[in-house]
Amino acid sequence: MIAENTTPYAAGWGTLALINAGLAQSKNRSGLAWFLASLLLGPLATLFLVAFCDRDPTDPTERGS
């Protein structure tokens, strides 16, 4: 039997995947790959993106201080 109240969780999980895709693209990573990874890993993918994926330091279009 499938729980009837899973819709809010699915909507939140999908929203998080979209946010992670945008975050990945802002760090010069593949948005599609991170979107798919986020569907599987959810908040763990967010943690990995924030903690371990830095911006590309050789990118000439990146603004730096």
Cβ neighbours around 37 below 10 Å, total: 19
pLDDT digits (tens, 9 = 90+) for 17-58: 999 999 999 999 999 999 999 999 989 999 999 998 887 656
- Predicted TM-score of the model (pTM): 0.74
Residue 61 or residue 11, greater confidence? 11
pLDDT, residue 49, reads: 92
Closest to 42 (Cα-Cα) out of 9, 63, 17: 17
> Where residue 65 falls among pLDDT bands split at 50, 70, 90?
very low
pLDDT, residue 7, reads: 79
Question: Per the structure block, which two tokens stand in for 22?
Answer: 């945008």
Q: Is the dihedral of CA 38, 43, 49, 52 positive or negative?
A: negative
